[in-house]
């Protein structure tokens, strides 16, 4: 079925207000969930919203909490989220990283006691729209077996890198081949994943999303490389924030909250003049796009370049949502 952006946003806001979330916070949070869904990132928009509400009801999310600065070391700051709403806090932290970058050329904000930030790519995009290179990542509860193991001990730990090109070029990737949210998207659509998503119960590679959702044997992105990347991202986030690691979140919490996150903004314009920047970025994009195609009917993919078109199409024609997901939202 299709719904309008405003219908979607008002449903999100209705549910938040019914849980006694302050009106201004409900408005901003509902807007961010609607924006994420309109960009086509259902896994961390409408599909994720019921779990967000569940965590709110359990007290894992403290809606009126305000993040506070713990420590400042010039271009690096430590902050404590105090379990505030994850997407609102992440937006504030990337804004703060850009403010620091205005002074030092680079700004690094390390955040502890954070909640799930929903669509991580939104914060990289936020920086790139304003002309900064945006880099951010988060650790998570143990959800992926490290390479060579059967039991989840590392996080999906998504990493985002956004470049202020035209259009914005952005990598938004989990350290697993698929996030659990994307597995759900494939399962609801009744389709297999495009490449192997994980292992079945017998240890064979599988593209069946439902199997991997149940047994939690996600395949690390790039096999041992993704496993290693997840581990070092967790280590950096833990050290810089003085927050909880994937191990500590997994052993001490009953769900994914109090995670550690990093937000980095780099001011480009003092390093290279605008005309040269645009020329160099355009050269890279054109060089990639004009490679001979493996399949003449399939365009070469540049990361993040699809999102403006997806947003425009959804705003003009309505946002396609799964019937069961919409009914779940309406019932909250």
Q: Which of 44, 60, 116, 186 is catalytic?
A: 44
Residue 135 in 3-state DSSP? Answer: strand
How far apart CA 244 and CA 242 sit, in angstroms, is 7
Structure token pair of residue 110: 């390390």
CB 213, CB 186: distance < 8 Å: no
CB 332, CB 46: distance < 8 Å: no
| Closest C-alpha to 176, from 211, 136, 216 | 216
Evaluated on CA atoms 13, 14, 17, 21, the torsion sign reads: negative
Residues linked to residue 144 through DSSP beta bridges, in sequence order:
154
CB 100, CB 108: distance < 8 Å: yes
E-only strand ranges, 154-203: 159-163, 169-173, 198-199
How far apart CA 173 and CA 121 sit, in angstroms, is 9
Backbone angles phi, psi at 139, to 5 degrees: -90, 180
| Closest C-alpha to 159, from 138, 145, 177 | 138
Residues linked to residue 106 through DSSP beta bridges, in sequence order:
266
Residue 44: active-site member: yes
CB 30, CB 12: distance < 8 Å: yes
Residue 259 in 3-state DSSP? Answer: strand
Give catalytic residues, as residue numbers.
44
């Amino acid at each position: 079925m299709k719904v309008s952006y405003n219908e979607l946003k008002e449903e999100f806001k209705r549910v938040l207000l019914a849980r006694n979330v302050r009106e201004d916070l409900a408005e901003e949070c509902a807007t961010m969930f609607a924006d994420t869904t309109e960009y086509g990132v259902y896994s961390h928009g409408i599909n994720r919203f019921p779990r967000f509400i569940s965590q709110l009801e359990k007290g894992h999310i403290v809606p009126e909490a305000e993040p506070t600065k713990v420590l400042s070391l010039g271009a690096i700051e430590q902050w404590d989220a105090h379990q505030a709403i994850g997407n609102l806090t992440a937006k504030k932290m990337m804004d703060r990283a850009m403010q620091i970058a205005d002074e030092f050329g680079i700004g690094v904000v390390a955040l502890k006691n954070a909640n799930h930030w929903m669509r991580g790519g939104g914060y990289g995009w936020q920086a790139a729209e304003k002309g900064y290179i945006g880099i951010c990542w988060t650790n998570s509860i143990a959800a992926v077996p490290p390479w060579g193991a059967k039991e989840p001990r590392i996080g999906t730990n998504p990493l985002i890198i956004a470049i202020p090109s035209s259009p914005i070029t952005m990598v938004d990737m989990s350290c697993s081949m698929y996030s659990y949210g994307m597995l759900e998207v494939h399962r609801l659509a009744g389709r297999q994943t495009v490449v192997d998503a994980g292992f079945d119960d017998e240890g064979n590679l599988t593209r069946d999303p439902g199997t991997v959702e149940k047994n939690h044997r996600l395949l690390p992105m790039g096999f041992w490389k993704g496993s290693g990347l997840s581990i070092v991202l967790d280590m950096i986030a833990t050290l810089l924030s003085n927050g909880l690691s994937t191990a500590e979140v997994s052993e001490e919490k009953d769900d994914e909250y109090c995670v550690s996150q990093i937000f980095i903004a780099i001011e480009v314009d003092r390093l290279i003049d605008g005309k040269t920047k645009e020329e160099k970025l355009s050269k890279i994009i054109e060089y990639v796009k004009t490679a001979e195609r493996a399949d003449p009917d399939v365009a070469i993919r540049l990361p993040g370049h699809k999102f403006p078109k997806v947003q425009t199409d959804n705003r003009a024609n309505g946002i396609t949502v799964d019937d069961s997901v919409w009914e779940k939202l309406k019932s909250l």
